[in-house]
Amino acid sequence: MRSLHLRPEPIRPDPTTGLLAALREAAAHIAAEAATLDVDGAFPGAGVAALRDIGLLTAPLPRALGGAGLGTTPEGAAPLATALRLVGRASLPLGRLYEGHVNALRLVLRHGSPAQAEAAARDARRGCFFGVWNTDGFNEPPLAVADGVLRGRKILCSGAGRVDRALVTARDSVAAPPQMLLVDLAPGERADLSPWTAQGMRASATGAVDFTGLPAVLIGQQGDYLRQPDFSGGAWRFAAVQCGGVEAVLGLLRAHLSHTGRGGDPHQAARLGQAAMAAETARLWVHSAAQRAEAALPEADTVAYVNLARLAVERTALDVLELAQRSIGLQAFMRPNPIERVARDLATYLRQPAPDRALVGAAAHVLEAAAEPGDLWG
Ligand SMILES: Cc1cc2nc3c(=O)[nH]c(=O)nc-3n(C[C@H](O)[C@H](O)[C@H](O)COP(=O)(O)OP(=O)(O)OC[C@H]3O[C@@H](n4cnc5c(N)ncnc54)[C@H](O)[C@@H]3O)c2cc1C
């Protein structure tokens, strides 16, 4: 019998493997910078530069646009979840900023014209940093656009004065569907960081930005920003960063117990075990939610599942904070113990929009579902 000489399929190396390895290597430097930046108005410039050098600013682009496909396919979901966890574990402010960058690129790629997608990809390849700013001030008119010129401001903009390209939403009235726009910004432009007096996340350069008179290009149609399942489903990405924060707290708790020789005490060991369980619960939820959100599953399922995931991660974070603070005691509240800062950052970053609505919406989905409880998520 003639033997078949089949040429083996060329193995295409997965670019995300190298990216994640490089990120793990850079994590100590990123964490070291975070420890020095716990001051109002700070921004993790070296951390952003590290992400840029590693290739993580372009990684969320599809390979055809010079990226690594991080998060752009179901297979890319797990590496993106890992990247967000690793960044969040090293620095929650940097994690928040990177999550915004990823979100902005995704929105332009999904809803922008091919030329707009290509331009955003080109900007990312040149090292531009993006953000998504959706929050309007309470009791003031929302940001509006007329003839491509903006009027008004946004609040709670992380990376204010630092982001090069801001994806903002404008509305004719508070109840009107939002229109996405992309704005080019110069360093320091229009940013007011003084209102950001939050307990934590001081280094996220979060503040108000006044856009009045600035030109902007429309991205997609009115209402696209709120299109499901992406709008609620995308919450898995902030949950991934929060999960990194949970892992950071667990790591600091473990280091404390090792260092003090208290880990063998049964109460301390029990709390460490509970914290490890909680952190793993968060990780499993995040990766499962990422997988589901990036696969084309029924919209209502995805939204409900990710809503549960984000709240499960919030719960684990609150539990791990309590366990760590009980185990470490007063030292956990003393500067410059890193857990003092990380706990403030995590507690602050856990505050995300409408948690009650997320839970009630998911509960309604479960109530109406025909599937048996164990088969709900197939
Ligand atoms: C570090 C950090 C950085 C941020 N960066 C950005 C950014 O770059 N861009 C951006 O757009 N935003 C940003 N935000 C804002 C963020 O997206 C949320 O808007 C904000 O964190 C909402 O938090 P909240 O607790 O005030 O939420 P809320 O939604 O106001 O929730 C507070 C409580 O009120 C309840 N609630 C909500 N609505 C109602 C209602 N109608 N009636 C009764 N109860 C209600 C909620 O369930 C919850 O219990 C940032 C936030 C943080 C913490």
Question: How many beta carbons lie within 10 A of that of residue 282, not counting itself?
Answer: 29
Is 46 inside a domain boundary? yes
Q: Whose CA is nearest to atom 3 of ligand 1?
A: 158
- The predicted structure's pLDDT at residue 1: 46
- Nearest-CA neighbor of 170 among 142, 148, 137, 146? 142
Residue 170 and residue 144 in contact, taking contact as beta carbons nearer than 8 Å: yes
- Is the same domain home to 265 and 237? yes
Measured in Å, residue 358 CA sits from the centre of ligand 1 at 12
**Are residues 153 and 54 part of one domain?**
yes
**63 is in which domain, residue-wise?**
16-226
Atom in ligand 1 nearest the alpha carbon of residue 131 = 8
Cα of 132 from ligand 1 centre, angstroms: 14
- Contact predicate 162/182, CB 8 Å: no
10-residue stretch averages of pLDDT, the chain, 378 residues long: 57 81 98 96 97 97 94 90 98 98 98 98 98 96 95 98 98 93 93 96 98 97 97 97 98 98 98 98 98 92 97 98 98 97 98 98 97 90
Q: How many domains does the chain have?
A: 2
Q: Would you say 47 and 261 are in contact if contact means Cβ atoms under 8 Å apart?
A: no
11 domain-assigned: no
Task: Looking at the structure, tell me whether residues 43 and 115 fall in a common domain.
Answer: yes
Cβ density class 306-321: b for 16+ within 10 Å, e for less:
bbbbbbbbbebbebbb
Calculate how far, in angstroms, residue 201's C-alpha sits from the geometric centre of ligand 1: 14
Q: Specify the ligand 1 atom closest to the Cα of 93.
A: 1
The answer to whether residues 92 and 238 belong to one domain is no
Contact of 159 with 131, CB cutoff 8 Å: yes
Q: Which of 165, 193, 226 is the last residue of a domain?
A: 226
List, edge to edge, every strand of the sheet that includes 130-133: 130-133, 165-170, 179-184, 217-219
Which residues have any ligand 1 atom within 6 Å of their CB? 96, 100, 131-135, 156-158, 201, 204, 206, 348-349, 351-356
Provide the residue type at 182 as one letter: L
- 211 vs 154: CA distance, rounded Å: 8
**Dihedral of the CA atoms 276, 340, 45, 188 (nearest 10)?**
130
Q: Are residues 217 and 292 both part of a single domain?
A: no
Residue 378 lies in a domain: no
CB contact at 8 A, 181 and 215: no
Residue 286 lies in a domain: yes
Same domain assignment for residues 119 and 219 = yes
DSSP strand pairing (165-170 vs 130-133): parallel
Report CA(59)–ligand 1 centroid distance (Å). 28
Q: Does residue 6 lie in a domain region?
A: no
Among 197, 226, 255, which residue terminates a domain? 226
Residues 243 and 142 in one domain: no
Mutate to test the pocket of ligand 1, among 352, 359, 360 (most ligand atoms within 8 A of CB): 352
Query: CA distances (Å), 231 to each of 224, 305, 369, in order?
Result: 9, 13, 22
Same domain for 82 and 166, yes or no, is yes
CATH classification of the domain holding 103: 1.10.540.10
For the chain, give me the number of helices (H) and strands (E)? 11, 9
Asked if residue 219 belongs to a domain, the reply is: yes
CA of 178 to the centre of ligand 1 (A): 17
Last residue of a domain, one of 192, 210, 226: 226
Does residue 170 fall inside a structural domain? yes
Atom 5, ligand 1: residue with shortest CA distance? 158
Element at 211 (helix H, strand E): none
Distance from residue 353's CA to the centre of ligand 1 (Å): 4
63 and 93 co-located in one domain: yes
For position 242, which CATH number holds? 1.20.140.10
**Residue 1 placed within a domain:** no
Q: Cα(345)–Cα(93) distance, rounded to whole angstroms?
A: 7
What is the reported pLDDT for 52?
Answer: 98
